[in-house]
Amino acid sequence: MSQHHNDEFDDKRLSDLYKQGATEKPSGHISHGILSAAKKQAKLNKTGWNLVEYLIGLISSSRSLAFAAVMVIGISIILQIQFDQPEQIVPQGISDISNGLPVTKMKSHSEENIADPEAVSRSLDSVSDNETTPSKPSLSKQRAKSSQPAKPAKKTYEQTLNELNRKKSEEAKQRMVERERLMQKRSQQKKERQQKQMMQAPESVFSPAPVISPLFEITPSQSTTTPACENLTNKACLSSANCLLVLQDDELICRMTRNHCEKGFVQIDMQEKQCKPKDNCKFMKSDCVCDTNETCTCSNNTPPSCELIEVAE
Amino acid sequence: MLIYLYLISQGTDIQTFMLNTKKENITQFNDESLIAEYCNGQHIAFEILYQRHSDPLYRFILKQCNHRTSQTEEIFQDVWMNVIKNCQQFRAESKFSTYLYQITRNKIIDHARKAISHHEADHSNDSEFLEAANNHQPDYKVQLEICIELLQQCIQRLPDDQREAFVLKQESEHTLSELAQITQTTLETVKSRLRYAMKKLREWLPGECL
């Protein structure tokens, strides 16, 4: 039945005849107008932004623009390299030569300074400030002078190199002078110390006793604590003219001489004539016998001494 | 990137290449997907839609407007501009072609109302034409052309609703229920209109044409 219905509404002959006559089409200008309107509306409808499509469209529609952009970038890079080259090399090269750095280090050092253009300008400025020659413009000033960038840079290099070498030699001289001064000062101080030590330290066993003024008196605090006498052996103490071996609390100690009587009295000699000639001095004999070649045998006995006699006024 | 460089070396326009590649892929889409793509900004989708539907739609309008070209073009343009501007209004509940012919029908009705005085068909010359055609004994090619012309004349003689149903059936591949949807009538009404239209055409056309 349905087939019948379809046949009823599908007359093949009529349809063929109709289709053979159906050749009408919309005109080209209408189609073009509708499609261009649709294209405009599609741009407005576009929600996302396709970067790839945009770039491809841009490049394909304007190849000359891309070429021009590449040319401009390339030329600007070349100009920048040419412009910056003398400014970067000059100051670092000078400083490296003056510092005596090897070539390899100079290179790396210059690379550091390329990254820090302020350092370059500072070094240039500092150089120019110290010179008597016409001052070199700073990096910023040099950049402003774009007419002749290479010529002044070469001149500055030579000048600055000479000046820095001169400066370096002057500094070296100053250092030498300072060193000499220091050496002299140190030697003087050393001499003074030695002299002081000579004055304070006990004289050797065989040296003659120094002549001491009778007015010279040493305070007890100074005499008892002199390390020089304390460090001496009993035998050396007995032989010394400045130290005296005494019995204190059943112990023999070596101390500094206190008065003119004790001064110059050599205990090991046990000679009365060393003590008697001195004013107000009294020789105190002892049984203790210390031979020069043997160890002192005083043991617990009081060693001989030359004591000051107190005179009643 | 290599493809790009190759195409540059071959002197190919990249934009055209990309467009063609995209077009090849998108041709497989159905009408509903295409209109959705167009709403998302792909103007190529609209181009394909236009290629699919522009000619049948134009003929449908042309026949409904009694072969008045200026009026047909005006309506045709209006319909497509409506689709372009209101693509978001289309819902995938119905087919795009149904939606398109609905808009077209409404536009035709609007125009018919405006120019109702000019709508009266002049059938005075038709009988003369048919008489002349029947008396003439041409060769096969001439006869076919005459038959086609006669069919066009007969279609124009049909009442508006029957002509509409018949042309819609011939131009589009809509089912009867879809035709009912487009013409905003019942299925039975569409069937009836079609039945009457075909009956009349068979009667009017000479036997040599069928």
Beta-bridge mates of residue A246: A253
Cα separation, A104 vs A100, whole angstroms: 12
Q: Do A31 and B46 lie within an 8 Å CB cutoff? A: no
CB of A94 closer than 8 Å to CB of A164: yes
CA B210 to chain A, closest CA, distance in angstroms equals 6
Residue B43 CB burial class (10 angstroms; 0-12, 13-18, ≥19): buried
Put simply, the answer to whether B40 touches A46 (Cβ < 8 Å) is yes
Q: Which of A33, A39, A53 sits opposite B43 (nearest CB)?
A: A39
In chain B, domain spans: 14-118, 124-209
- End-to-end CA gap in chain B: 61
Strand partners, A282: A307
Kindly list the residues from chain A whose CB atom is less than 8 angstroms away from the CB atom of residue B201. Answer: 14
Contact A31 B54 (CB under 8 A): yes
Interface of A with B (CB under 8 A): 5, 8-9, 11, 13-15, 17-22, 24-27, 30-31, 33-35, 37-39, 41-43, 45-48, 53, 56-57, 59-61
Residue A33 neighbours by CB under 8 Å, 6+ apart: B77
SS3 B92: coil
The 10 Å CB-count burial string (b at 16+, else e) for A180-219 is eeeeeeeeeeeeeeeeeeeeeebbeeeeeeeeeeeeeebe
Class of the CATH domain delimited by B14-118: mainly alpha
For tokens 């059938």, the residue is: B123
Q: What is the pLDDT of residues B135-194, one digit of tens each?
A: 545 456 667 888 888 888 899 889 989 999 999 998 888 899 999 999 999 999 999 999
Beta strands A281-284 and A243-248: pairing type?
unpaired
Give the confidence band of A161 by pLDDT, cuts at 50, 70, 90: confident
Convert the pLDDT of each residue in A11-62 to its tens digit. 888 888 888 888 888 989 999 999 999 988 888 877 555 566 666 666 665 6
- Rounded alpha-carbon distances, angstroms, from residue B81 to A46, A158, B84, B97: 18, 80, 5, 15
**H or E segment at A177?**
helix A150-200
pLDDT digits (tens, 9 = 90+) for A226-265: 457 888 887 788 888 888 888 777 777 888 888 888 888 8
- What is this structure's pTM? 0.44
The first and second tokens of residue A148, run together, are 């002749």
User: What amino acid occupies position A152?
Assistant: P
**Tokens 């030695």, located at residue:** A194
Q: Report the CATH fold assignment for B124-209.
A: Arc Repressor Mutant, subunit A (1.10.10)
B5 token code pair: 């460089």
- Residue A205 has φ and ψ, to the nearest 5°, of -60, -35
Q: How confident is the model at residue A7 (pLDDT cuts 50, 70, 90)?
A: low
CA distance B72 to chain A (A): 9
Q: Give CA–CA dist B191/A9, Å, rounded.
A: 8
8 A C-beta contact, residue B165 and residue B190 = yes
* Chain B residue with the nearest C-alpha to that of A57: B15
Q: Confirm if B69 and A73 have CB atoms less than 8 A apart.
A: no
Q: How far is CA A232 from the centre of its chain?
A: 49
Low-confidence ranges of chain B (pLDDT < 70): 1-24, 116-142
Structure tokens at A8: 């009823």
CA distance B31 to B38: 10
Q: In this predicted structure, what is the pLDDT of residue B186? A: 94
Check residue A151 and give its pLDDT: 47
Neighbouring-strand partners of residue A254: A245
Q: Which two tokens stand for residue B144?
A: 């076919």
Is there a contact between A306 and A261 (Cβ–Cβ < 8 Å)? yes
A238 membership: H or E segment, kind and range: helix A234-239
What pLDDT is attached to residue A240?
83
- Give, as one character, the DSSP assignment of residue A201: S
Residue B191 to residue A9, Cβ atoms within 8 A: yes
Q: Which residues of A touch B84 (CB under 8 A)?
A: 34, 37-38, 41
B39 to chain A: nearest residue by CA?
Answer: A45
Q: Long-range contacts of range A79-83, CB-CB < 8 Å, 24 or more positions apart?
A: A82/A149, A83/A143, A83/A146, A83/A149
pLDDT in tens, A188-214: 888 888 888 877 655 444 444 444 444
The answer to whether A295 and A245 have CB atoms below 8 angstroms apart is no
Q: Please state, in angstroms and rounded to a whole number, the distance separating the CA atoms of residues B104 and B81.
A: 11
Give the separation between CA B183 and CA A76, rounded to whole angstroms.
70
Residues 6+ apart with CB under 8 A from A5: B191
Per-residue pLDDT reduced to its tens digit, A131-160: 444 444 444 444 444 444 444 455 567 787
CB contact under 8 A, B41 and A17: no
The per-residue pLDDT for A303 is 79
Task: Kindly give the residue spans of alpha helices, DSSP state H, lying in A22-102.
Answer: 28-45, 51-61, 63-99
- Give the residue ranges of DSSP H helices in B11-120: 14-26, 31-39, 43-64, 69-85, 96-114
| Residue A35, pLDDT score | 92
Q: Give the nearest partner residue to A15 out of B73, B76, B170, using CB atoms.
A: B170
B81, A34 contact by CB (below 8 A)? yes
Q: What is the largest CA-CA distance in chain A?
A: 177
- How far, in Å, are A96, A203, A310, B135 from residue A282 at the CA level? 81, 24, 10, 191
The DSSP element (H or E) to which A278 belongs, if any, is none
Give every CB contact of residue B178 below 8 A, 6+ residues apart in sequence: B95, B98
pLDDT single digits (tens) A77-129: 988 888 776 554 444 444 444 444 444 444 444 444 444 445 444 544 444 44
